[in-house]
Amino acid sequence: MVVEHEARGKAHTMIDEALTVERTQVQTRGERTRALRARQDAVVYPAVGRLQLYGDEPLAVDRASGMYLYDVEGNRYLDFFGGILTVSVGHCNEEVTEATIRQLKRAQHTSTLFVNEAMVAFAEKMRDVTPGDLSVSFFTSSGSEANETAIMTARMYTGRTDVIALRHGYSGRTQTAMSLTGQAPWRSGLVYDGYIKHVRNPNMYRRPAGMSEDAYLDLCVSEVEDVISSSTEGRIAAFIAEPIQGVGGFVVAPQDYFRRVKPIVEEAGGLLIIDEVQTGWGRTGVGMCAIGHWGVQPDVMTFAKGVANGYPVGVTITTPEIAAAVDHLTLATFGGNPVAMATALATVEYIERHGLVRNAAERGRQLRAHLERLCSQRACVGEVRGMGLMQAIEFVADDGRPDAARAGAFVSAARRHGLILGKGGMGGNVIRIAPPLIVTAEQIEEAARVMGLALQEVA
Ligand SMILES: Cc1ncc(COP(=O)(O)O)c(C=O)c1O
C-alpha cells in the first residue's frame, strides 16, 4: 500500500517536471473527459454541466494539490479560481487534511443535538475573527443556507418582513436566496419572496454616462431611502449586501457606501447583513473580514466557500441579543458537523499561522500591477478592478456593452495555456481572478505571462 502510494507520488512528480519544462500549451486530447461527461449528462441535471465558467471545453479533475489541478488527460493547470473562491489554503492542504482525518476517525457525525468540542471551538474562533460584538453562530452547509438563516433571524428579531437587497448581487439558490439575488439568470424558482426589494448597486463603472462618481453614489444611497419609503411599510427587517459583488463581477462598493447606508437602515429599524461568502477569510488582504475596510459594524454576517477550504460549511453570526430572537425549533442536521468544524478551524488557523492575509495583500498588489500593465492599452478592456486576491477584468465591445464572447475566448485561451480563471458579471463578460491565498510571487508571474498571451490572442 505504502509502496504503491510512493510509486504514484513519484509518477506525479515526473509528470509535474515534464509539464514544468513544456508548460506553454496544454495537450488536451479529451477522450476520457468526453466519456466522463457523457456519463454525467445521463445521470446529473443538465444544468450542472451547462455552467462552464472556465472555458468552452469541460475539464474533468483527476486530482489536485496546492495551486494545481490535474485533469484526467494528464494535463496540469495553475488554478486561479480555486473552486470558485473556495479553496483558500490550497488543494488538499496537508495540515488541514490531517485535521479533517483526525476528526473523521474520532467522531464523524453527531448532529447539534449533542454538544461537540469541534463546533464550540470553531464558534469561539468565529467570535474572535469577526468584528464588534458578533459572537453567536448558527452553522449550516452552504452560503445559501447561511443567508436564509440571516434573513429569518432579522425577521424574527425585528418582527418585520421587508428586506432590501442590491441589484446584481448573488445570495444563493434556496427560495429566499434566489429572491435576494439581483440577476435574472440565477433566479429560476418561479416563486419569489415579494417582501424583498432591490435597489441600484453602486457600480461606478456602469454609472449613467456623464454622471460623476459622487452624484452616482448620492443616487444609489438615496434610492435606499426612496425604496424604503415607497415600496415597504416604511420599516424593514434588513438590508443585505456583499462588500464586493462576487458573481456580479467583483464590483467593489465605494468607500463611503455602507457608512451612508447604515443610518438609513437603522432609522427604518432594520439590521445590516453583510454577506462575506466570497470576500471573507482574508481574500481581500484587509483582514479576515473585508467589511472593516468600509468602516461599518454589521448586525449579522454570513460566510461559506473558503471557510473550510472546500468542506461544506455555512456560517451566520450575530449578537447574542439578535440570536435569542430565534426562539422556535430549528435544526440543520449537518450544521456544526464535527468534521466540517475541525476542518474550518484548521483552515483559519493555517491562514493565521502562515500570514496569508498579508500574502493576499502583497500578491494581490503584484497581480493588480500586471493586470493594469497588460490591459492599459486595450480598448476591449473596460475596467480592471478588485481588492487583494479578488481581481477582475471587464471586457467590453466598442460601444461599451458587455463582450461575453471575448471574455469566453480569454478564459478558454488561458486554459489552453494551463491557467484556470473564472467568468462572471451580469453580461458574462468579467474575468474573475481569485487564486488560493497560498499563491507565490512566481505563480503570479506565471499567471501574468499566460494572461498576456491570452490577451494577445483575443484582443
Ligand atoms: C456572495 C455569495 N453568497 C452566497 C452564495 C451561495 O453559496 P452556496 O453556493 O454555498 O450556497 C454565493 C455562492 O456563490 C455567493 O457568492
The set of cell numbers assigned to 3 is: 509502496
Q: Which of 175, 278, 305, 311 to mutate to test the pocket of ligand 1 (most atoms within 8 A of CB)?
A: 305
Q: Which of 250, 252, 274, 278 to mutate to test the pocket of ligand 1 (most atoms within 8 A of CB)?
A: 278
- Work out the mean pLDDT of the chain and round it to a whole number: 93
Cα(183) to centroid(ligand 1), Å: 13
Across 420-440, average pLDDT: 97
The set of cell numbers assigned to 90 is: 490550497
296: Cβ contacts below 8 Å, ≥ 6 apart: 258, 259, 262, 272
Alpha-carbon distance of 25 to 204, in angstroms, equals 37
DSSP type of residue 456: H
Q: What is the DSSP string of 121-186?
A: HHHHHHHHHSSTT--EEEEESSHHHHHHHHHHHHHHHHS---EEEETT----SSHHHHHH---GGG
pLDDT at 13 over 50: no
Residue 393 DSSP SS3: strand
Kindly state the percentage of the chain with pLDDT values over 70.
94
Q: Where residue 408 falls among pLDDT bands split at 50, 70, 90?
A: very high
pLDDT at 18 over 90: no
Cα(19) to centroid(ligand 1), Å: 34
Residue 311 DSSP SS3: coil
Give the pLDDT score at 228: 98
pLDDT at 28 over 70: no
Nearest CA to 438 out of 378, 360, 362, 380 is that of: 360
162 Cα distance to chain centroid: 26
- 31-79+356-458: CATH superfamily: Aspartate Aminotransferase, domain 1 (3.90.1150.10)
248-270 pLDDT, tens digit per residue, is 999 999 999 999 999 999 999 99
37-79 pLDDT, tens digit per residue, is 999 999 999 999 888 788 888 999 999 999 999 999 999 999 9
Cα(278) to centroid(ligand 1), Å: 7
pLDDT at 23 over 80: no
Give the pLDDT score at 52: 78
Q: Where residue 5 falls among pLDDT bands split at 50, 70, 90?
A: very low
Give the pLDDT score at 15: 43
Nearest CA to 176 out of 157, 194, 159, 158 is that of: 194
Q: Please, what CATH class does the domain formed by 95-353 belong to?
A: alpha beta
Determine the atom of ligand 1 nearest the C-alpha atom of 245.
1
Cα(392) to centroid(ligand 1), Å: 18
Give the pLDDT score at 27: 62
Alpha-carbon distance of 52 to 59, in angstroms, equals 9
Determine the atom of ligand 1 nearest the C-alpha atom of 279.
1
Cα(239) to centroid(ligand 1), Å: 17
Nearest CA to 428 out of 194, 168, 48, 210 is that of: 168
387: Cβ contacts below 8 Å, ≥ 6 apart: 244, 252, 279, 284, 285, 286, 290, 293, 364
For ligand 1, atom 13, name the residue with the nearest CA.
172
**Ligand 1 binding site (Cβ under 6 Å of any ligand atom):** 142-144, 147, 170-173, 242, 246-247, 275, 277-278, 304
More confident residue, 49 or 450: 450
Determine the atom of ligand 1 nearest the C-alpha atom of 144.
11
User: Sign of the CA dihedral 14, 17, 18, 24?
Assistant: positive
pLDDT at 344 over 50: yes
Across 345-365, average pLDDT: 98
CA dist list (Å): 201 to 207, 210, 216, 222, 318: 10, 18, 10, 12, 24
Count the Cβ atoms, other than its own, within 10 Å of residue 84: 18
Name the helix (H) or strand (E) containing 64.
strand 61-65
154-192 pLDDT, tens digit per residue, is 999 999 999 999 999 999 999 999 999 999 999 988 889
pLDDT at 126 over 80: yes
Q: Which of 81, 84, 87, 171 to mutate to test the pocket of ligand 1 (most atoms within 8 A of CB)?
A: 171
74-125 pLDDT, tens digit per residue, is 999 999 999 999 999 999 999 999 999 999 999 999 888 899 999 999 999 9
Determine the atom of ligand 1 nearest the C-alpha atom of 84.
14
190 Cα distance to chain centroid: 25
Give the pLDDT score at 189: 80
Least confident of 107-111, 138-142, 363-367: 107-111
Across 190-214, average pLDDT: 96
Determine the atom of ligand 1 nearest the C-alpha atom of 169.
1
- Residue 202: what are its φ and ψ, rounded to 5°? -80, 65
Alpha-carbon distance of 386 to 368, in angstroms, equals 8
pLDDT at 2 over 90: no
Show me where the domains of the chain are located: 31-79+356-458, 95-353
CA dist list (Å): 308 to 122, 129, 156, 421: 11, 14, 29, 21
The set of cell numbers assigned to 213 is: 462618481
Alpha-carbon distance of 7 to 153, in angstroms, equals 53
Tell me the longest C-alpha to C-alpha distance in the chain. Answer: 71
Kindly state the percentage of the chain with pLDDT values over 90.
89
Cα(336) to centroid(ligand 1), Å: 18
Cα(172) to centroid(ligand 1), Å: 5
Nearest CA to 298 out of 308, 287, 289, 286 is that of: 289
